[in-house]
Amino acid sequence: MVRRISVSQYNSMVRQAQAKQRDAIRKYNQAVDNYNRELKRGVDNYNREVRAHNSRVRAHRSKLENAIRRLEAESRKPVRITQTVRSRTVYEAYGRVNERYEAGHYSERFNEALDFAEREVANSVELEASLARAPDESEQESALESDPELLDGLQRVGDDLAQRWQGALFALSPRNPDAARHFCTSAREIFVQMLDYGAPDKAVRELGPSCETTSEGSPTRRSKIRFMLAQKSLSDPSFEDFVDTDIENILSLFRVFNDGTHGSAGKFGFSQLRAIKVRVEDGIKFLSLIASRAN
């Protein structure tokens, strides 16, 4: 039997249907507005990150160019140095990385690591330019403070590493005759422990049973670097070569510094000690980025 309704009931049903339609349209428009706001926020954040990245790249590039000019200027002067750490190998290794970057081989995942890499090159060249100058006996010495961010990162790797680094900086003084030995021993141990933390021997062997090993049978530094880059989804032969070359450059600095072969008196000026500190400290930060387990 067909239900009979009055005009008022019919009008009420129409109004209800219209209200539901308006509510559905309102919810749809609200969802579209929310989506557009989120999309704009995402685009703005992406553009902000791109601008920040490009700004960092320009800053690092400027620092590198200035360091190269200073090194070229110092190279034309007679110097008192008998041995130094050559930055050319680091610069050339970075050149190969940069060629791949310009060719579009690296995804956005590489951006932060590439920022660090360019800073590493600049620091390496800057240090060589500093070591090429004769120590300035008149410059004022001040405390070499450590970066709190670096200390936090070292503490996450091992409780004693932050203390070891602070002790190394405390010893890094032109007036300390034992500065070289103390600083080099502590800094080298930090690099070794960070490599072991980021790439335990057992894990490296499990991922690559045929990895290169030392004469003692442990995975080589290059094998550990390859493992860490794979864990961070940053695998690339040129970038791997750069990381290995950069660490070798820093470790060779320890040999030079520990030998005390700089200048006629075997002494470093405060500005040179500060350049050594920056080179090693930023190198630790770079390795910390690669060795960190959180992905």
Task: For 269-285, write each residue's pLDDT tens digit.
Answer: 778 888 888 999 999 99
66 falls within a domain: yes
Segments in the chain forming alpha helices (H): 7-75, 88-102, 111-132, 148-157, 159-171, 179-198, 201-207, 221-231, 237-259, 270-291
pLDDT, residue 190, reads: 92
What domain count does the chain have? Answer: 1
- What digits encode the pLDDT tens for the residues 11-26? 777 788 888 888 888 8
97 falls within a domain: yes
* pLDDT, the chain, mean: 80
Q: What pTM value is reported for the model?
A: 0.72
237 falls within a domain: yes
CB 290 within 8 A of CB 243: yes
Q: Assign 292 a pLDDT band (cuts: 50, 70, 90).
A: confident
253 falls within a domain: yes
Q: What is the mean pLDDT of residues 172-199?
A: 84
Angle of helix 88-102 versus helix 111-132 axis, rounded to 10? 150
Q: Is the pLDDT of residue 79 over 50?
A: no
Top pLDDT among 78 and 206 is at 206
275 falls within a domain: yes
For residue 161, the one-letter residue type is: L
Cα–Cα distance measured from residue 112 to residue 99, given in angstroms and rounded to the nearest whole number: 17
Longest dimension (CA), the chain: 115
263 falls within a domain: yes
Structure letter (DSSP) for residue 268: -
Top pLDDT among 92 and 130 is at 92
> Per DSSP, what are the bridge partners of residue 213?
219
Q: Is 1 exposed, middle or buried (0-12, 13-18, 19+ CB in 10 A)?
A: exposed
Q: Is the pLDDT of residue 259 over 60?
A: yes
Name the one residue in this structure whose structure tokens are 């956005």: 108
Angle of helix 159-171 versus helix 148-157 axis, rounded to 10? 140
> Poorest-confidence range of 18-22, 117-121, 128-132, 262-266?
262-266
Taken as a whole, the chain contains a residue count of 295
Of 8-12, 160-164, 247-251, where does the model show the most confidence? 247-251
**Domain range for residue 229?**
48-137+147-291
Closest to 290 in 3D by CA, of 114, 50, 60, 57: 114
Q: How far is CA 221 from CA 161, 214, 284, in A?
A: 19, 9, 15
Closest to 130 in 3D by CA, of 271, 278, 261: 271
Q: What is the mean pLDDT of residues 213-237?
A: 95
CB 84 within 8 A of CB 126: no
